């Protein structure tokens, strides 16, 4: 019995897609357990770029079964589009290669409309959502008025539930935001098509996963976003609408904690975030622009430029503690080549107080000033490095200092976008 959870240790976009793709080669099942199509994982294989938003990043491995768990919110139109695009390239040839949980909640057109309308109304105070309807869908889930995949397969029941939901949501959409109401018939007709397209993949994935783990299969759990976007433990309210820490596997995949063996955190060698909210180490200067350009820091889902800054050990230490990370994968170390002096935030200062933890108050976090350590950089290209010893001495010291400050061993180092541009220090399933 062996399972591994992949968790983002920053604000998302850490390179989880590449790491999941690498480890999926040694996994029987890859599971997505939270979030929606507001996340995007980019895979680069033989110079071919694949972006997935809902289907797990293990999809490029034909021996791997991909599972979308009950904790994911699904836009069926997006999912059908992903399936069609992957099948056109020769992937997902058999229905049994993809399983969708019957309890996963559905994103409806009214959810997308509300998401966009709210952000427009907030103006400069907007959260920075992707406008994909994720938040409003989770709201309905918690309010016990949402629609699930299993409901979509029963047209009569689905119509009744959608009508009830639109009675409430259309009032807000039209009266408060001035948007046209969403039509019941249009939704039911559209989703009837999706229901038949997705029906072969729908099952009780929680039961399936438990049976497979007990039978000795290797299972990889793939998180979306990052710890600092967790609805409880992130920079609230500038967060996503689900729990992004490793503990969400229990609720989002229906797998008991006893079956979760190890957690691997993913962190860039620097820090990025998208959208609004605090970001103490943000760089609005030439170095920040270099990181953005050299690191291709533009969102895989929206194309938005990412905010860039120095590595924040306070944030990653916070993430490691919350998820019980047994190891860290450091991505994009190569992007730092050519920077003479590097900085790592080891603490914050605010109003005369030193913080070595992430403050809960958003105003404190917004006003926090990072306390930096400075390290020597390096000029060498890292693209050919395949062993830790191949790295320049300054790069090795940088990695060692990250390990010390986060109290977490580094188990993988990525030095490029391709699969083989990786230094694997130990098997993550055996951390």
In this structure, are 413 and 309 located in the same domain?
A: yes
Determine, yes or no, domain membership for 98: no
Q: What is the pLDDT of residues 395-425, one digit of tens each?
A: 999 999 999 999 999 999 999 988 899 999 9
Residues 221 and 343 occupy one common structural domain: yes
- One domain for residues 316 and 351: yes
What does the alpha-carbon distance between residue 377 and residue 69 come to, in Å, rounded to a whole number?
42
Q: For residue 26, indicate whether it is catalytic.
A: no
Q: Is the dihedral angle over the CA atoms 293, 58, 32, 146 positive or is it negative?
A: positive
Q: Which DSSP symbol is given to 246?
A: T
Residue 369 included in any domain? yes
- Does residue 97 belong to any structural domain of this protein? no
pTM score, whole prediction: 0.92
Within this chain, do residues 232 and 160 fall inside the same structural domain, yes or no?
no
Q: Are residues 23 and 167 in the same domain?
A: no
80 and 123 assigned to the same domain: no
Return the closest-CA partner of residue 327 out of 270, 269, 265: 265
Q: Is 100 a member of any domain?
A: no
180 class by beta-carbon count within 10 Å (0-12 exposed, 13-18 middle, 19+ buried):
exposed
Does residue 82 sit in the same domain as residue 124?
Answer: no
Q: How many domains does the chain have?
A: 2
With contact defined as beta carbons under 8 Å apart, do 273 and 12 qualify? yes
Question: For position 319, which CATH number holds?
Answer: 3.90.170.10
Q: Tokens 């979509």 belong to which residue?
A: 152
Domain shared by 56 and 36, yes or no: yes
Question: Per-residue confidence of the chain (431 residues) as pLDDT tens digits?
Answer: 589 999 999 999 999 888 988 898 889 999 999 999 877 767 766 667 778 889 998 888 889 999 999 999 999 999 999 999 999 999 998 999 999 999 999 999 999 999 999 888 877 666 667 789 999 999 999 999 999 999 999 999 999 999 999 999 999 999 999 999 999 999 999 999 999 999 999 999 999 999 999 999 999 999 989 999 999 999 999 999 999 999 999 999 999 999 999 999 999 999 999 888 999 999 999 999 999 999 999 876 667 899 999 999 999 999 999 999 999 999 999 999 999 999 999 999 999 999 999 999 999 999 999 999 999 999 999 989 999 999 999 999 999 999 999 999 999 999 998 889 999 998 877 65
13 is an active site residue: yes
* Together in a domain, 246 and 367: yes
Last residue of a domain, one of 145, 178, 200: 200
pLDDT at residue 384, as a whole number: 93
Are 209 and 195 found together in one domain?
A: no
User: Are residues 387 and 305 part of one domain?
Assistant: yes
C-alpha distance from residue 3 to each of 133, 211, 266 (Å)? 31, 13, 16
Q: How far apart are CA 248 and CA 230, in angstroms?
A: 10
Is 159 within the bounds of a domain? yes
Do 235 and 324 reside in the same domain of the chain? yes
Strands 65-68 and 29-32: what pairing?
A: parallel
The answer to the question of residue 96 being in a domain is no
The answer as to whether 193 is a domain residue is: yes
Last residue of a domain, one of 200, 232, 247: 200
Of the three residues 152, 167, 200, the one that is the final residue of a domain is 200
User: For residue 21, what are the domain limits?
Assistant: 2-91+204-430
Catalytic residue from among 41, 225, 233, 318: 41
Structural domain includes residue 183: yes
Packing angle between helix 313-323 and helix 393-406, nearest 10 degrees?
50
Annotated active-site residue in 13, 21, 230, 334? 13
* CATH number assigned to the domain comprising residue 117: 1.10.300.10
Q: What is the per-residue pLDDT across 286-328, written as a single tens digit (0 to 9) for each?
A: 999 999 999 999 876 667 899 999 999 999 999 999 999 999 9
> DSSP letter string over 78-139?
HHHHHHHHHHHTT---SGGGEEEETTPEEP-HHHHHHHHHHHHHHGGG-----SSSHHHHHH
């Amino acid at each position: 019995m062996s399972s591994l959870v992949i968790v983002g240790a920053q604000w998302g976009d850490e390179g989880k897609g590449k790491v999941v793709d690498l480890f999926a080669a040694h996994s029987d099942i890859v599971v997505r357990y939270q979030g929606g199509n507001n996340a995007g994982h980019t895979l680069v294989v033989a110079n071919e770029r694949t972006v997935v938003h809902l289907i797990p990043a293990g999809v490029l491995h034909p021996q791997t079964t991909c599972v979308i768990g009950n904790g994911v919110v699904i836009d069926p139109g997006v999912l059908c589009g992903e399936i069609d695009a992957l099948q056109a390239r020769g992937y997902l040839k058999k229905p049994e290669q993809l399983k969708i949980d019957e309890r996963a909640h559905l994103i409806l057109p009214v959810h997308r409309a509300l998401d966009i309308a709210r952000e427009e109304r907030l103006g400069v105070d907007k959260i920075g959502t992707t406008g994909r309807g994720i938040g409003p869908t989770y709201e309905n889930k918690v309010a016990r008025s949402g629609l699930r995949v299993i409901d979509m397969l029963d047209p009569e029941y689905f119509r009744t539930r959608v009508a009830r939901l639109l009675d409430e949501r259309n009032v807000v959409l039209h009266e408060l935001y001035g948007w046209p109401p969403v039509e019941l018939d249009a939704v039911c007709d559209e989703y009837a098509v999706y229901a038949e397209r997705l029906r072969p993949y729908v099952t009780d994935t929680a039961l399936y996963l438990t049976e497979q783990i007990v039978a000795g299969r290797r299972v990889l759990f793939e998180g979306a976003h990052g710890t600092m976007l967790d609805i409880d433990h992130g920079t609230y309210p500038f967060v996503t609408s689900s729990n992004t820490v490793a503990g969400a596997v229990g609720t989002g995949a229906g797998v008991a904690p006893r079956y979760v063996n190890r957690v691997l955190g993913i962190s860039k060698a620097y820090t990025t975030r998208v959208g609004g909210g605090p970001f103490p180490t943000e760089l609005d200067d030439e170095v920040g622009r270099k990181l953005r350009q050299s690191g291709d820091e533009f969102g895989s889902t929206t194309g938005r430029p990412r905010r860039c800054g120095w590595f924040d050990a306070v944030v990653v230490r916070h993430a490691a503690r919350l998820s019980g990370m047994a190891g860290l994968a450091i991505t994009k170390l190569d992007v730092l080549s050519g920077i003479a002096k590097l900085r790592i935030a080891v603490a914050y200062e605010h109003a005369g107080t030193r913080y070595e933890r992430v403050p809960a108050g958003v105003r404190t976090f917004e006003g926090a000033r990072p306390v930096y350590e400075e390290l020597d950089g390096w000029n060498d290209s890292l693209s050919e490095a395949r062993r830790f010893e191949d790295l320049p001495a300054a790069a090795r010291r940088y990695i060692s200092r990250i390990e010390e400050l986060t109290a977490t061993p580094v188990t993988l180092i990525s030095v490029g976008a391709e699969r083989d541009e990786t230094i694997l220090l130990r098997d993550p399933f055996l951390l």
